[in-house]
Amino acid sequence: MSDTPFEGGDRVFEVGYRPMPDRGKRQPPAVAIARTMLTLAWRQRATKIVLLVCLGVLAGHGVWLVGQLLFERFGAEVGAAGMPVGELVGSAREVLANFLRVQFFTTAIAVAVIAGGAIAEDRAAGAFDLYFARPLTRADYAWGKLGGAGLVPFVTILLPVVLLWLTAIGIAPPALRSELWWLAVPALGGGILSVLVLATTIIGLSAVGQKARTVSIAYVAGLLVLSGIVEGLTNGGFALAGYIAPERSLHTVIDWLLAPEQSMLGSQVSGRYRPINHSVFGSLVALLGWAGAGFGLFWWRLRSEVVG
């Protein structure tokens, strides 16, 4: 029987106290907050479903783009009437513009599911006391939540735009390739604007909500209802109402950036183009206003909840 009060006592005495092993550079608080938020969201089945829908939208536009470019590469005219390829199956400009418009709606559902509870669940659980009991600033918390919410449209909109553009560059005929090189700038501009609007508005709504499901439903329903109301008002002659709907303003800016011409196939895929706002600058200001309102609401709520 050992002379020590407990087994292994000699071993503890021999080892003594040692410094903790170096675990490397400490991770920024904002990164940890964003990672935790996305990890929790990934456990939900709804997250995987909406991301699959976004992937399906990308796949569909990828097939459209490849088919269009192959037609462009192997024949200038097709059909009995000798219709130009651009009028029949469209162009890379049309594919990218249509992708940005359609993916805005599907990504709106995705950010609602993934980031709807980003702030609401923290408020409902009283997690602010735990967060800010450690040396964490409001800016760290804000950047973490915005980064987590913004990563969703970054992955579903911005990266796919780059992928579609690279695909077009890779298989386009040499005569068309020089034009496609410059297409990256307007396409990325539309994608960045989509990411900004979606990330800030969902975070702003989540900041005043209490439950993730309520925020998610309100966000998607509000976007659809607002779009329908604005469409009715503009058709009734109230043109200024068109700037209220973010989808319509984004449509206006994207069409100005990419200047697409609708083809016969494009009209079958997404329907005839709807009227858009008269002023591109006004639409851009409206979108930035939505982004500013979302972030302002979030920051105001955070300041009211967390003192100092």
Distance in angstroms (rounded) separating the CA atoms of residues 196 and 206? 16
Quick check: 210 pLDDT over 90? no
Tens of pLDDT, residues 138-186: 889 999 999 999 999 999 999 999 999 999 998 887 877 888 888 999 9
User: Residue 79 — very low, low, confident or very high, per pLDDT cuts 50/70/90?
Assistant: very low
235-280 confidence digits (pLDDT tens):
888 889 999 999 999 999 999 999 887 666 656 566 555 668 999 9
Q: How far is CA 103 from the centre of its chain?
A: 9
Greatest mean pLDDT range, 88-97, 238-247, 253-262, 285-294 = 285-294
Confidence of residue 231 (pLDDT cuts 50, 70, 90): confident
Q: Which residue has the tokens 């329903």?
A: 221
In angstroms, the CA 236 to CA 246 distance is 19
What stretch of H or E contains 84?
Answer: strand 83-84
Q: How many CA atoms lie within 13 A of 231 on its CB side?
A: 11
Residue carrying the six token digits 């760290």:
140
Q: pLDDT at residue 6 above 60?
A: no
Q: Examine the pLDDT at 45 and tell me if it is beyond 80.
A: yes
- Other Cβ atoms less than 10 A from the Cβ of 96: the count is 29
**Coil/strand/helix, residue 291:** helix
Give the mean model confidence (pLDDT) for residues 185-202: 96
Instruction: Indicate whether 122 pLDDT > 70.
Output: yes
Measured in residues, the chain has a length of 308
Query: Collapsing DSSP states into helix, strand and coil, what is residue 77?
Result: strand
State the pLDDT at residue 128: 77
Q: Do 194 and 283 touch, CB atoms closer than 8 A?
A: no
Q: Mean per-residue pLDDT for 211-238?
A: 91
Whole-angstrom Cα distance, residue 177 to residue 170? 8
Contact 178, 92 (CB under 8 A): no
Which of 69, 153, 172, 158 has its CA nearest to residue 111? 153
CA distance to 65, 86, 94, 108, 234, per residue, from 83 (Å): 18, 8, 17, 37, 35
Token pair for 81: 């009437």
pTM confidence score? 0.84
Average model confidence (pLDDT) across the chain? 84
Give the integer Cα–Cα distance in Å for 154 and 110: 12
Residue type, 43: R
